[in-house]
Structure 1
């Protein structure tokens, strides 16, 4: 615990062999928006640039990076090894490189609590803008569902405005029952085949499914415990409305 709080305090800039290195401990609910090319969006990434961001979260969490803008240029044809200019992600077991002229909407989801993000330009250039998130829930609201009771209404954003865009409910129904979800979604949809900035997640400990389209859906948990999480865009958010109740018929 002491190491974690020390990292939070020492989120800072260093320099190793001419490379800029940023150290950042990510907190739940607080996006880190400084993974970007210098002077973005005014000037392009200069040649001979090397920047690294060392990101860390608690051991029970992971990191998600969303890159809204990746536009790179180079004189040579693009190749898979991304020799001249690239953005990379490294968890210590191999580096994933991204390069190209139009790669906006790319996302990387770590499998552990540490992630190195590198932006390197040898003789290429371009613009890069990414945001990193700690995937840990900001808070959890526990709810006990009773058989025969009126459905619980889960609505986001709530009618009373709140300065957050991330809500989680932990649900419990009677032993031997399941939980039903009847939801109406108006979300921005997937980007490059994956849910991006707006999503509904339903997790019952055995299955964890994400939804991010504009649609109506009906979902049943596999047991009497489930977690529902809604994450919305900070600007011009969509909406989610679910009716949730104890369901005893198998």
Structure 2
């Protein structure tokens, strides 16, 4: 690969995630100012959907930060950022419902979620060590080390790929629950989907970058082996 191609490649690696993050922030900012017809807070939305699905043992907690919302399967807790916990907006409702979607996945032992959870130790190790091992292999001219690094990186990339169906499924569940429980009306579905789709872009961008990096090292390994 020429120097120019490398420069374009690395620029794309930086632009794609930044574009996705910008899209999320812009969409979230826009719809955090739009109040839903039900006017429920994010915390109330989460509690209503959880109760409708019999998940009375799942708790809801406020967490500091912006868009720090997540579901903790170990503690069975849906954690919502301050703005979404107290907010009455369409963005708050969408994010809260999405995180509850993960809680429903957990309760139903959703296969992709279980697979992703099982991958966490290997993916974490691969994410933290793969580049170090690969560059050590390059410096020491050891193809075995480079291959080992690529294998560990593959686990991290697989984690990113498995995250996609988990997140898209949680968003799909969120939309169904929001409409079914009457939290949003049919006329509000389109705008709510925009919030959920924008959030999904960050996961798609992360997966694209991870796959591109893995392919680059695989091609480098094959070229050097030959």
Fold shared, TM-score > 0.5 on shorter chain: no
Name the TM-score, length of structure 1 as normaliser.
Answer: 0.25
Structure ranking higher in helix proportion: 2
Greater relative CO (CA pairs within 8 A, separation 6+): 2
Question: Higher strand share goes to which structure?
Answer: 1
TM-score by length of structure 2 reads 0.27
